[in-house]
Structure 1
Amino acid sequence: MPKSRGRRKSSGGKKQHKPVRRSPLPLRLSDQVMRDARRQFGGSGELLTAEAWASSWLGQAWLDAPITEREPEQRLCLEVVGRASTTPSPAGLAAVAALERVAPVDSRPMLTGTVAILAETQPLPAWHAASGHHPVRAWRAVDVWDSERVLFIAYDGPTPHTLMAQIIETGGTMVDKLGLLTPDAATAWSDMRDDDDIPMPLTVHDVSAALTDLAAALRTTDMTWPRHDDEDFVELRALAWTRCRDHLPDWPDHQPLPDTERTRLLDTFTATAARGTGPETADTIRSLAELFLDYGENYITTGPLAWSPGQAALFLADWLPRKAVLDPDQRTLLPDVLKQWVHFALTERGVEPRWIAPVIDAVDLHLHDFQDAFDDHTAWGPAKQITALLTSRGIGPTDQDAVDAALRTLNAERLARQLIQHPPIHNS
């Protein structure tokens, strides 16, 4: 018999080769949705449970999407519709029907049409025929510094409940947490708080105003990058948007302080803070007060005088080192003048002295952070770098020709440094 070509001689027993097991590809999010739908909708359920379930998956799609992905929720809805239509089942129909309740508006027609088609051969979930939930009452609790507020919006319907939203203002408006609570959650608010807690009295609030506030806060939260990843927020984000989207207001116009009010604040503060000092020190104090007021106007969303411990920390550890250029006199006086300004600003707002003290303590606490960050040139923003350069060369900001010449020189120097550090590679 002819020998087999390429066969090696046996050296004994046959060697056993174990098959290589390849790990399966990870499931796409839409596959996970369909798999979870079979568990979630195996029996009877409630409308609110279905809405919260769909909201959690839409929230996951939103959270996982890269910054370049413009419509992650719509894409998830499209993929779920495709899978539910390819292999019709009661669970698939329930998944599409649940998404229909809380999905973005642009996806609703597709979801509604798919539900109608699948319902011809599959039973609709019992909760599909239930009427929706309607807001009936609202309450609002705000802290003494106007830096945090909590909204309670009570709903009637198949499952009465309360939608809670915690909104913070430090660093910009953001919905920090969302929650689905019992119908009487708002009335229990006062009982949940201790005497030592920061005062946040609960007041009855207009329902429409609460929904408008929530919609505006959700909009700015969605613009934050990286995306807010608090689990409670992500799971209920789509549901909350569905409840308030029709109340989304136009972007508010910036309302600067009237010149007369600005002058009054600066004059009143300087007269007190500079008492007993010379003209030069008084000028330095006023220049710092102008800086504090400018920061408040542009970065404290609830008002230029609404300083809080968080705002003091953000101002000292982040904004001031990146944005401001201080001369030696301003830097020396900054700690005391800032504490005086905080006391003055909060007194103007009617805050009790015992709640002004924590803000002043925050100034003391974060002064070390300011000192470290202010001397770190790598943390400076571009505008501060340029301003510092012009100042060091004795160039005033109003001398446009000198500024332009200095910027051309700066750009040339930067290019020269880059070429020295990273010389071009020439192919021979």
Structure 2
Amino acid sequence: MSTFTTALAQAHDLLRWQSPLRTELWAARLTADLEPDEMAPFLRRAAKDGSAEARLTLAAISAVNVTADMYRPADEGTSLPPGHEAVQPVAEDAGAGAYALTGKNVAETLPGWVRRMGHVTCEGGWYGKADPYGEQVLAALSFRYENGKEPHLLVVGIDQASGGLAVDAVVEEVKFLDDLGLRAEEPGAVAGRVLDAFELGDRIMGAVVADTLAAVRPVAISRARAVPDLVRPAPDDTMSRFDELPDQPGAREAFEKLAEFVGDRPLWWSPGRVTQFLTSWLPREAILSEAGIAAMPDVVRAWSRFSGAHPAVLAQVEADAPRLPALMADDSLAGLGKRIAQAQRDR
């Protein structure tokens, strides 16, 4: 049985179930299953077929892959059956015209529930660690359709060690949130992080992600785009919430270097990250006063307690901190940027 025939059989069942969410998730999986060069012929065949099942397929794929402001009218001369007006993607991530034949107004020819696809209200956002060391974080957003039905939760796993790219996503019941231990955040910021993470993944060739991501990706992106007041790029306020800075000379200077190191991924703090900071990054990159060097171990201890006080992390600080003065004094470890900055300072 061909992909098209199978899709229409599944669409027949979806017309009976009348579930916008189930239909959107189905369309996302269908999008993932079709190769890029298969999408346009598939949509063209659906437009030519004209059956209710084919029209639902067009409407669903359109709902999960695009938003209205991503499209302009197709070039004149495009011929489709009435009610199947072609649209031409103009957004970069729409992908080589793959959705050029998706029906813009097809939903109007189908039962009313079809028009609810993609029309959701965001009810909350949450963000936090997926594991004790924050090597991955979770961004969660809850939604329900405009008629108040089918509440659902989108959860996106974002890998910090790989730079902050999206590596997995699921759509679950809202009660799934109870087991995640995330803290509430402004939905616009959470949605911004989701979009930032997917865009980063698109720029990295060969990024390692979960096999399940592709089948949820279109829904995840369309949901994030539906959140009002998006914050792009989305900052993380973890550093600003840190209020345990030791009261000693050089502490502020030391903390500024720590903040520079953790950058926009402050939830990621593991034993390996401790070692990288104290024994590699600081000697290579940082210029610190004697007071800053002396204060650094206590600052890192305080940050480690704030980041979860994991025994392995605290033990790594104690193992690496005594080496810091000697490493900072070893000019052979300084990187080029540090050497240039030192030379300019000493002029």
TM-score clears 0.5:
yes
Q: Does 1:96 align with 2:61?
A: no
Query: Quick check: 1:140–1:151 contact (8 Å CA) kept in 2?
Result: yes
Structure-2 separation of matches of 1:91 and 1:241:
25
Query: Quick check: 1:80–1:96 contact (8 Å CA) kept in 2?
Result: no
Matches within 5 A, 1:106-185: 106=70, 113=86, 115=103, 124=110, 127-130=113-116, 132-142=119-129, 147-157=135-145, 158-185=149-176
Instruction: Tell me the C-alpha RMSD between the 2 structures.
Output: 5.0
CA displacement 1:152-186 (0-9 Å, x = unmatched)? 32222242211122333223112232111113222
Query: Quick check: 1:147–1:302 contact (8 Å CA) kept in 2?
Result: no
Q: TM-score, normalised by structure 1?
A: 0.50
Report SS of the residue matched to 1:137: strand
Q: Per residue, is there more helix in 1 or in 2? A: 1
Counterpart residue type for residue 38 of structure 1: L
Query: Quick check: 1:162–1:183 contact (8 Å CA) kept in 2?
Result: yes
Report SS of the residue matched to 2:265: coil
Matches within 5 A, 1:46-85: 46-60=19-33, 72=36, 77-85=39-47
Structure-2 separation of matches of 1:152 and 1:51:
18
Report SS of the residue matched to 2:215: helix
Query: Quick check: 1:135–1:207 contact (8 Å CA) kept in 2?
Result: yes
Counterpart residue type for residue 176 of structure 1: V
Cα deviation for residue 358 of structure 1 reads: 1.7
C-alpha distance 348-116 of structure 1, shift in aligned 2 (>3 A): closer
Cα deviation for residue 361 of structure 1 reads: 5.6
Structure-1 separation of matches of 2:33 and 2:202:
14
Gaps of 5+ in 2: 75-83, 87-101, 240-245, 286-292, 321-334
Partner of 1:213: 193
Gaps of 5+ in 1: 1-26, 65-71, 191-199, 258-263, 270-288, 326-336, 367-383, 392-396, 400-428
Query: Quick check: 2:139–2:190 contact (8 Å CA) kept in 1?
Result: yes
Query: Quick check: 1:139–1:204 contact (8 Å CA) kept in 2?
Result: yes
Counterpart residue type for residue 116 of structure 2: A
Counterpart residue type for residue 138 of structure 1: G
Query: Quick check: 1:151–1:166 contact (8 Å CA) kept in 2?
Result: yes
Structure-2 separation of matches of 1:42 and 1:125:
13
The alignment of Structure 1 onto Structure 2 pairs a total of residues equal to: 280
Q: Per residue, is there more strand in 1 or in 2? A: 2
Partner of 2:309: 355
Query: Quick check: 2:121–2:144 contact (8 Å CA) kept in 1?
Result: yes
Cα deviation for residue 78 of structure 1 reads: 3.4
Of the three residues 296, 300, 317, the one matched with 1:345 is 300
Of the three residues 177, 189, 197, the one matched with 2:179 is 189
C-alpha distance 343-127 of structure 1, shift in aligned 2 (>3 A): farther
Structure-2 separation of matches of 1:92 and 1:314:
55
C-alpha distance 252-99 of structure 1, shift in aligned 2 (>3 A): closer
Query: Quick check: 1:300–1:311 contact (8 Å CA) kept in 2?
Result: no
Counterpart residue type for residue 347 of structure 1: A
Report SS of the residue matched to 1:208: helix
C-alpha distance 107-78 of structure 1, shift in aligned 2 (>3 A): farther
Structure-2 separation of matches of 1:129 and 1:178:
25
C-alpha distance 51-267 of structure 1, shift in aligned 2 (>3 A): same
Cα deviation for residue 36 of structure 1 reads: 3.4
Cα deviation for residue 219 of structure 1 reads: 2.2
Counterpart residue type for residue 211 of structure 1: A
Partner of 2:328: none
Report SS of the residue matched to 2:142: strand
Structure-1 separation of matches of 2:207 and 2:33:
11
Counterpart residue type for residue 358 of structure 1: A
Matches within 5 A, 1:6-405: 32=3, 34-43=4-13, 44-45=16-17, 46-60=19-33, 72=36, 77-105=39-67, 106=70, 113=86, 115=103, 124=110, 127-130=113-116, 132-142=119-129, 147-157=135-145, 158-186=149-177, 188-189=178-179, 200=181, 202-245=182-225, 249-251=231-233, 268=250, 297=260, 300-303=263-266, 307-309=269-271, 311-312=273-274, 344-348=299-303, 350-351=305-306, 355-359=309-313
Query: Quick check: 1:216–1:248 contact (8 Å CA) kept in 2?
Result: no
Structure-2 separation of matches of 1:347 and 1:159:
44
Structure-2 separation of matches of 1:206 and 1:252:
10
C-alpha distance 299-151 of structure 1, shift in aligned 2 (>3 A): closer
Query: Quick check: 1:211–1:244 contact (8 Å CA) kept in 2?
Result: yes
C-alpha distance 359-85 of structure 1, shift in aligned 2 (>3 A): same
Cα deviation for residue 119 of structure 1 reads: 7.7
C-alpha distance 41-362 of structure 1, shift in aligned 2 (>3 A): farther
Cα deviation for residue 306 of structure 1 reads: 5.9
Query: Quick check: 1:85–1:118 contact (8 Å CA) kept in 2?
Result: no
